[in-house]
């Protein structure tokens, strides 16, 4: 089929693009005007340029396509409140829905976030039935992604949009040109992670999430959401594993929540004065002290999402960052 993809040059989009091509699909990528996209160099894709805030531009990008994967989003968490983040994530999704309806696509795949569902504990991880509970963190990123997901699923109910959502957990892997999640590995490699908190995440290989997204073009149930993750692991255990894979020393100091939150508060205050984003914001510090564990079994059962060992994700991400000069920056 012919598939249109927004956000094609991001960490997830770069893997989605490659898997679509490997599966024999024609791929049309919609990229921001003037944006360089080195992770797509050499790939046989049709490139269109524009802005997801331009509904007409998106309509032209989706025209003639059977499926759309809408992965473009702002993942910025600084500043915590951002009108631009809300516009990109909510208005952009609304425009993508309208454009998909005009193109009469057979499937619309929205890339959301697992944070749109309540997380759980290691013994009872969260799933797709959980309510949205992340509003307490005061982050427009989380709030806007939940709002965007809600409007997509409302379009399924009210207008018959053939859509479903993929909700990734914390992804690691190659083609992280920003870098996004790879920044954590860079800091760990450089010895800049002072310790670990009591929190943890559901971690995943980006290619596994990309596989779920590509499969969702023809698999899965319309109107349903699918948490795409793999391993629930505390920060302490993750840092130990990742440090071993990269051949460096793992941070051995436990950081109490009060210390982490105080550091986040101080760095946020300084950032407001200097205008430079903090390494650790107050909101990120609070989140980093809590458990964000999820159950990916629905995506595995209905979207044939694989479960690549997390060590592979760390190794491939580290190798890509090293080979592209990010470790020395």
- pLDDT at site 203: 98
Contact between residue 47 and residue 35 where contact means Cβ atoms under 8 Å apart: no
C-alpha span between 178 and 116 (Å, rounded):
23
- pLDDT at site 328: 81
Task: Report the candidate in 288, 280, 234 with the shortest Cα–Cα distance to residue 256.
Answer: 288
206-215 and 11-22 are packed helices; what angle lies between their axes, rounded to 10 degrees? 50
- pLDDT at site 329: 57
Residue 134: φ, ψ to 5° = -85, 0
- pLDDT at site 130: 98
Which residues contact residue 208 at a Cβ distance below 8 angstroms, ignoring those fewer than 6 apart? 228, 230, 305, 306, 307, 308
Please report which helix (H) or strand (E) contains residue 206, including its range.
helix 206-215
C-alpha span between 102 and 288 (Å, rounded):
41
Contact between residue 122 and residue 232 where contact means Cβ atoms under 8 Å apart: yes
Which residues contact residue 182 at a Cβ distance below 8 angstroms, ignoring those fewer than 6 apart? 11, 172, 176, 317, 320, 321, 326
Task: Report the candidate in 270, 272, 265 with the shortest Cα–Cα distance to residue 79.
Answer: 272
Question: Domain segments of the chain: what residues?
Answer: 2-180+203-229+293-308
> DSSP assignment of 97-143, as one string?
HHHHHHHT-SEEEEE--GGGS--B-SSS-B-TTSPP-GGGG--HHHH
The maximal CA–CA distance of the chain, rounded, in angstroms, is 55
Q: Is 232 helix (H, G, I), strand (E, B) or coil?
A: strand
Note down pLDDT in tens along the chain; length 329 residues.
999 999 999 999 999 999 999 999 999 999 999 989 999 999 999 999 999 999 999 999 999 999 999 999 999 999 999 999 999 999 999 999 999 999 999 999 999 999 999 999 999 999 999 999 999 999 999 999 999 999 999 999 999 999 999 999 999 999 999 999 999 999 999 999 999 999 999 999 999 999 999 999 999 999 999 999 999 999 999 999 999 999 999 999 999 999 999 999 999 999 999 999 999 999 999 999 999 999 999 999 999 999 999 999 999 999 999 999 999 85
Residue 183: φ, ψ to 5° = -60, -35
Residue 195: φ, ψ to 5° = 175, -170
Please give the class, per CATH, of domain 2-180+203-229+293-308. alpha beta
């Amino acid at each position: 089929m012919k598939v249109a993809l927004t956000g094609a040059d991001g960490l997830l989009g770069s893997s989605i693009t490659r898997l679509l091509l490997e599966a024999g699909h024609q791929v049309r990528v919609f990229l921001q005007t003037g944006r360089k996209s080195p992770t797509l160099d050499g790939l046989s894709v049709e490139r269109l340029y524009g802005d997801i805030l331009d509904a007409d531009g998106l309509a032209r990008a989706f025209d003639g396509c059977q499926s759309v994967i809408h992965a473009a989003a702002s993942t910025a968490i600084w500043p915590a409140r951002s009108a631009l983040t809300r516009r990109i994530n909510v208005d952009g999704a609304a425009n993508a829905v309208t454009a998909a309806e005009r193109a009469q696509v057979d499937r619309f795949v929205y890339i959301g976030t697992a944070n749109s569902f309540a997380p759980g504990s290691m013994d009872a991880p969260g799933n797709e039935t959980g309510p949205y509970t992340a509003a307490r963190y005061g982050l427009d990123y989380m709030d806007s992604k939940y709002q965007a997901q809600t409007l997509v699923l409302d379009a399924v109910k009210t207008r018959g949009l053939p859509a479903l959502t993929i909700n990734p957990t914390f992804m690691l892997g190659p083609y992280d040109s920003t870098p996004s999640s790879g920044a954590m590995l860079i800091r760990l490699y450089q010895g800049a992670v002072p310790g670990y908190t009591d929190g943890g995440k559901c971690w995943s290989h980006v290619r596994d999430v990309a596989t779920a997204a590509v499969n969702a073009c023809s698999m899965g149930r319309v109107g349903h959401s699918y948490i795409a993750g793999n391993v629930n692991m505390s920060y302490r255990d993750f840092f130990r594993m990742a440090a071993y894979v990269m051949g460096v020393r793992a941070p051995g100091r436990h950081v109490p929540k009060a210390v982490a939150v105080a550091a986040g508060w101080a760095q946020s205050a300084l950032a407001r004065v200097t205008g430079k984003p903090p390494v650790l914001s107050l909101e990120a510090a609070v989140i980093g002290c809590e458990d964000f564990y999820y159950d990916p079994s629905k995506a595995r059962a209905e979207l044939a999402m694989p479960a690549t060992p997390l060590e592979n994700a760390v190794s491939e991400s580290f190798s890509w960052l090293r080979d592209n000069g990010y470790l020395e920056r």
